[in-house]
Amino acid sequence: MAAAGILPTPNIAGPLSVPEPVPAPSAAEALTPLIRSTYTTSELCFFVNGRRVTVPNPDPDWVLLDWIRAQDNLKGTKLGCGEGGCGACTVVLQTIEKGRKLRHVAVNACLFPLVGVDGKSLITIEGLGTVTRPHPLQERVAKMHGSQCGFCTPGIVMSLYALIRNSYRDGKFHLSTSDVELQGHLDGNLCRCTGYKPILEAAKTFVVEDLKGDLVEENNSPLISIDDISDSSLRLPSDRSECGAPTNGSCGRPGGCCRDPSTSSYGSSIGRGSSQESGITRATSVDSGRGTASPNSFKPYDPTAEIIFPPALWKYEQKPICYGDGRKIWFRPTTLEQLVELKDAWPSAKIVGGASETQIEVRFKKSEYRVCIYASDISELNSFNEPDTDSELGDLSEVSIPGNMSLTRVEDLCATLLSKLGPRASALGALGKQLRYFAGRQIRNVASLAGNLATASPISDAAPALLAADSAITIRTKREGSYDLPLSTFFVKYRTTQLPASGVITHIKIPLPPPKTLEVTKAYKQAKRKDDDIAIVTVGFRVRLDQEGFVQQATFAFGGMAPTTTVATTTQRAVLGRRWTDRSTCDDAVGALLKDFDLPFGVPGGMAQYRKTLTLSLFFRFWNESIADFGLAQAGEVIQEIYRGVSTGTRDHFVDSGTKVVGKEIPHLSALKHCTGEAEYVDDMPQQKNELHCAPVLSTEAHAKLLAVDWSAALEMPGVLGYLDKDSVPRESNNWGPIRVDEPLFATDEVHSHGQTIGIVYAETAIQAQAAAAKVNVVYETLPAILTIDQAINTGSYFDHGKQLKKGAAIEGSLNDTFARCEHIFEGTTKLGGQEHFYLETNAALAIPHTEDGSVEVYASTQNLMENQIFVAQALGVPMSHVNMRVRRLGGAYGGKESRSTPIACLVAIAAKKERRPVRMMLNRDEDIATSGQRHPFQCRWKIGTDANGVIQCLDADVYNNAGYSYDMSGAVMDRACTHLDNCYNIPHAWIRGWVCRTNTVSNTAFRGFGGPQAMYFTESFMSVIAEGLKVDIDELRIRNLYKQGDLTPFLQPIDIDFHIPTMLEQLSASADYGNRKNSVRSFNSNNRYRKRGICMIPTKFGLSFATALHLNQAGAYVRIYEDGSILLHHGGTEMGQGLYTKMCQVAAEELGVSVDQIFNKDSQTDQVANPSPTAASSGSDLNGMAVKNACDQLNERLAPYRKQFGPDAPMSVIAHAAYRDRVNLAANGFWKMPKIGYRWGNYKDPLPMYYYFTQGVAITEVELDLLTGDHTVLRTDIMMDVGRSINPSIDYGQIEGAFVQGQGLFTMEESLWTREGELFTKGPGTYKIPSFSDIPQIFNVSMLRHDSSGNAISWKHLRSIQSSKGIGEPPLFLGSTVFFALREAVKAAREMNRIEEPLSLNAPATPEKLRLAIGDEFVKRAAVVPTEGETNFFVRIEE
């Protein structure tokens, strides 16, 4: 390649020391000689799924995912977040390790540098199998219902694939349930649909069977986890010979341990039978043969039949590579010397390993690194010679870890050396523990210690552990050679180090204490989530004692408490020379820590009091644990962290015997497609001829006047063709809205929210469009912004709404007299934050114009085809009949694509019409979160009166939601919230008022539950206040207040015979042993000072229908029978993971008397079913199912003579052929509208029902809370749901589990934070945390209501719903609040122990910060932070 002509001008960054005054060389002078002498190729050579690929001079902006998705046959690998946080892009690299051993490395393709695949074998989801010939892993995940929307599934399958392939080594099999679940192999993957349980159970089937190899003895395994090493490894034993001794007990392997007494060996085939059955009694989907998959139905796994490593790569010789263009250039040196020469020639060149930091800076911070060096293929920076002999281990005084060794390998190395060295290697144990919870496995597989330290993050996980261990780094430059630098002097200021611009970190040296030295090093990290989360505070502690127990050395290092990783110098001095075990030493250290870290209230990152509290708590934990490790502990409670175990759970599988197809647990019809990557989403559709790509230009102000928008720089960018803004559409066509048409497609004179669309840029490629959009210059005049509910209330900033509910005395007037008659009155304000939908597939659309007639076909990831159609037609100025909206499937939605998908469809359609070319847009994660809205933040100001026994008499409530800058569906959300403020309790007199707040935040929208969960959370909150105020058992209080048949809701709908809450409370309480477990919790709490447990049982009642949007309660369907007996089905619903297509096929098959295989449910489109209602409100099956049934009824009537003629068992092919020959119409349009409903607000005399029926449920959850940190784990959850007569129980189980975990996230973990300037801070998986695999209940049992308390089967025929089933998508979500309320009980127990008498105020989400501060112990009080005058918190919670 011609290097000199493409090289950018270097930006040489000098070291902190004053450099010699040498002139900066030009680009050509600096790099051309090296390129000509060393970098002779610009070609990448690698294998993809066994086939050789050569890529000459690739696009330097591409990461691996860009190249993969540019291939027409490799669309299974998805873009989910772009920052390595969701795992949707996971692929596997086969690499050669020392000793000619293969390792399968799961990596994030969205981050991994394309140059890094040279000389490697790449395996994508397509390489495993197809629908016709699936890999056993793909088959099991599909058959065991481990996929719903399917967008995350390929990435999860690939992570598991790497685990399974790495588990089979040298003919031996190294895999246990601990490997599957507890060692972090899945912590880089997220799923928003399933609740994770069926995925884990599918993976565990590979533990049940033998994989055609021998089960390896545990002590022979070279890979040992830090978490697997017993505490004795870190003790200072009296007899060192016991350290690390192998156990003789069973490992508890579900398929049987090699040490279990048994008459048969583990080496037999999968069909062995008995041991299979004994090992799976607790499994989710394999513990019943009634209609679901069992192990014997799976295709056996043969590891010898896997894709072989390409023989050519065994002999592949790496060559230095250089490629790029005039903007950016990549180098891949193969030796350390080459790397050092490059850095010397061009000091500002960016060294890249896994790009886990660099690519995020490029993608989201728009950083431009014009010269990048990929250093991960340099063997000198990866190789480590592990000591083997006792002599080598005894002589070891330090461990020198190669700078670019992957963190996964460092973690393994730490575990191995810790097991061999025992307490001498406690520093390695501390480091390994930190790395276990650093990011996800995919990132740990490519990231390095050198990269971690060089970025100088103040919240680095590794730096405090290394700093505490008195580590040093080895730096090499061309001019100075190699030298060591103490880590204690390495960090200078925020994101700045002593590393010279031309320097390379080659090693990290960790010293080891001499044998028999009394020294302990430990590390701790506190984050919002245990796995794959950035730290809030991270620490490393080391203390060395003399033989008398006095402190000789102490290093206490902290991250998250200063602009750099730093040491607590005052505290270190305070303990030196002191007897370590004296409580006064600990007390003085705590006081010194408060001096070392006196954070101001408005400190960057916020959480000042919590962070200060953590420094005290974590030191206290270290002090206690280290005393135990030294063998100096007195008998008492050991203050250990909470670690979860392997999860288990059951489903009470039940198959309705009265039907042929309906009620059967068939897998999702697209499940195998999900698992093989063959399921096509909008952005997977093949590139259209002349296709263009869009990128939005979004406001960077929350409220401002638009003074000028300059597009010139963007239009000069390569590949850019044009832009759209407010002048691109008629003014009257620029507004849209699902209820009120008040939101502009393009901002006009003002912007009203950070992230509001100003315009779009379109170009030949998506990368070009995104780069151009970043160049648009917008000039603002900032205006005052309203962000929070309180601000809106204080300024009277509301949307017109005015709806209220009145019952009892409130209908006639005031509730004052009613309150006056109450024995007790309670008042309060309860708040709940919003929730990001976090569907894995961001909003996407593709518009294909037809210039002949002005029509357009728009493929959109939407729940609401009709609304999209209306506003696309409006924007284009054409009739709706000229717009065909289509969608095959969505990669998750949860309400977030009911309305917020509309502007995306409009924008691509406008651009397509203008350019007469197909136009596509898929938002990146930041853009999607910034524009798509959230679950509404809510606040409720309530007053409630009871009699002497706590029976509720009256309620007066003002309910507020934060709508954002446009109305969207905020009023409808408020309506449902007001109608669910009763939950399951009778309130004789009620006055409930709803207020929709107008603010300058993103326009909030529908989200699973649609206001219902927020309202029921308020209900259970004031129930807790009543119970605590009256000192009444809250379960008894709930029973006293439950509805009875004939009672009226606040919207005056009678409670009828379908109210099954009392029955479910009784049955679930018995099956979950609730009474005894409550007593056990009390006993646990009385015996544990630093851990508390809580348990609670909560019911839910969720109304089904589109409430007051009466016109939406209708649906159409179109069923066609072809002459060969095959059947084509169209309906108005969309498939977004909830299994609607599967259920509709079951309904049609049942009604027509055929198998499901004969039904083809094609994609949803408006030219087949006109005016479809949105797939929302949990009504998809009800509405569309009845419409399908109506169409089938018509067809059955026409076919009745032929069934009589040919017999009831005649195949449809015979019947259809005969009917066709007789010219019978074999197509039918079905229609259904929901009867009996029709509520009108303000009608207190004779209102019609608001809801068609109620789906109900009960859940019991038990938790354990760490009082020192606020961390918790969910020990057990039991759920019982009344779903009527389920159309497909397995799909419904999945909906229940997935909704529960999503609700768990809402109430405990998922916190949305905003900057003071009005920008949403939590915009991706790095800052916004949804539940992961390790957050689900450790025991997770789900059942469905079948019979009454007398054992009589319950009939739901009175429902008049499809097959007497009930909607299930939204109702279980609120049951996730049982985690919150169980935590509340645990906090209450802690406060009682601490003798705190003030009433507990705890608002959701119950983050570790809120939980820890609510405990109110001495550490919390001493860490209090008082704001100065005018000082505000760093972050804003808009529910406040």
Closest CA to 1425 of 612, 618, 614: 612
Q: What are the tokens at 1008?
A: 């699973």
Cα(339)–Cα(358) distance, integer angstroms: 18
Q: What are the tokens at 627?
A: 């005393």
Report in angstroms the alpha-carbon separations of 1191 from 393, 1038, 1112, 1230, 1359: 78, 45, 19, 4, 20
Cα(535)–Cα(530) distance, integer angstroms: 9
Instruction: State which H helix or E strand residue 782 sits in.
Output: strand 777-782
Other Cβ atoms less than 10 A from the Cβ of 491: the count is 23
Q: How many CA atoms lie within 13 A of 695 on its CB side?
A: 22
Q: What are the tokens at 333?
A: 């040196």
Tell me the residue ranges of DSSP E strands in 1041-1172. Answer: 1091-1104, 1114-1121, 1127-1131, 1159-1161, 1164-1165
Asked if 990 and 1050 touch (Cβ cutoff 8 Å), the reply is: yes
| DSSP assigned state of 1134 | -
What dihedral do alpha carbons 441, 445, 451, 455 form, nearest 10°? -20
In sequence order, the 6+-apart residues with CB closer than 8 A to the CB of 1098 are 1020, 1038, 1258, 1259, 1375, 1377, 1378, 1381
| Cross-strand bridge partners of residue 1436 | 1314
Cα(594)–Cα(412) distance, integer angstroms: 36
Cα(407)–Cα(467) distance, integer angstroms: 17
Catalytic residues: 1370
In sequence order, the 6+-apart residues with CB closer than 8 A to the CB of 639 are 620, 621, 624, 625, 1090, 1268
Closest CA to 639 of 963, 1090, 56: 1090
- Please give the backbone phi and psi of residue 1274, each rounded to the nearest 5 degrees, phi first: -90, 110
Instruction: State which H helix or E strand residue 709 sits in.
Output: strand 704-710
Q: Pick left, alpha or beta for residue 1360 (phi over 0 → left; psi -120 to 50 → alpha; otherwise beta).
A: left
| Cross-strand bridge partners of residue 559 | 538
Cα(1118)–Cα(1187) distance, integer angstroms: 8
Closest CA to 1317 of 1435, 1402, 1220, 1218: 1435
Asked if 672 and 1164 touch (Cβ cutoff 8 Å), the reply is: no
Other Cβ atoms less than 10 A from the Cβ of 1047: the count is 16
In sequence order, the 6+-apart residues with CB closer than 8 A to the CB of 776 are 697, 709, 710, 711, 713, 714, 723, 758, 759, 761
Cα(82)–Cα(77) distance, integer angstroms: 12
Each residue of 822-837: b (16+ CB within 10 Å) or e?
Answer: beeebeeebbbbbbbb
Closest CA to 1036 of 1045, 1023, 1047: 1023
Residues in the chain: 1440
Q: What are the tokens at 1207?
A: 């017999």
Instruction: State which H helix or E strand residue 707 sits in.
Output: strand 704-710
